[in-house]
Amino acid sequence: MTKRHVKDVPDIDLYVCGFPCQPFSMAGKRLGEQDDRGCLWIECVKIIERKRPIVFILENVPQFQQTNAFNEILRKCSKNYVTNWALLNTKNFGVPQSRKRLFIVGTRMDMTNLKETPKILCQPTVLHSRIIESIIDRHDTTNEYDALTSRQKMQLKPYVDAGGIFVDLNFLFNPFRQSLKTTSSCLTTKNSLWCCPMQRRANIKEWLQLQGFSTNGWKQVVSDSQMKHQIGNSMSVPVLRSLLKGALESLT
């Protein structure tokens, strides 16, 4: 992103970007803009200012809201866009994954007669969540329990006893065990999501469904590790779909 020339980027009507969250995430070192990745939001703004898409959607972790960069994005983009932001959780959009993310949405002023962002962009209709048990791939009978360390087994037991379904092995100190009966831990880029009922790591099919992707006709062309990394980095499909619907409805 830093090496390309903005003038060489094709003209676009819709711009969607989830710039790196590691510098701001609670799971990272939280170095912010001291981390080179923490400055890539600048490249996003360059595209918006120069290419002037009709609609843009930017996404990052909730902690980004507490940065000067967040305020700078709003300041720069509000010159030409009806701009607003929202903290949205995937579990409220029909997918049983607890994944809270910050979304910044802008509609170009000359393409809308609205003076403020419509509520649907900030508070889309909350959908009834899919039952988490329906996501379990019971055809995959691989058993990986013996591969866990004694410490992991001990830490995992309270979640199993509480009826947890999908639990992140890297965050077994999380106290919200009861909620994991109905929602999954937030997907990350690491292969650490454990399927308690099947005693194995969650597989690709389960990962896809927890992000709202369809598994019909899916063709995998990379390794499982790379695949999970990509899914963990992606935006939840139903959330993005709802935001796009609201943005398009606001156009003249």
Residues with a catalytic annotation lie at 21
List residues bridging with 88 in a β-sheet: 101
CA distances (Å), 184 to each of 54, 58, 99, in order?
A: 35, 24, 9
Q: Which stretches of the chain score pLDDT less than 50?
A: 31-32, 120
Domains defined along the chain, listed by start: 6-129+234-249 (3.40.50.150), 132-221 (no CATH)
Confidence at residue 250, expressed as pLDDT on a 0 to 100 scale: 82
Q: Which long-range CB contacts under 8 A does 28-33 form with residues at least 24 apart?
A: 30/63, 32/67, 32/69, 33/67, 33/69
Q: Which residues contact 25 (CB under 8 A, 6 or more apart)?
A: 61, 63
Amino acid, single-letter form, for residue 241: R
pLDDT for res 103:
95
State residue 117's pLDDT score. Answer: 54
What SS3 class is residue 60? Answer: strand
Give the pLDDT confidence score for residue 8 in this predicted structure: 84
- Is residue 99 within 8 A of residue 76, CB to CB? The reply is no
For helices 68-77 and 41-51, the axis angle rounded to 10 degrees is 0
Over residues 63-118, the pLDDT tens digits come to 888 888 899 999 999 999 988 899 999 999 999 999 999 999 999 999 987 665 55
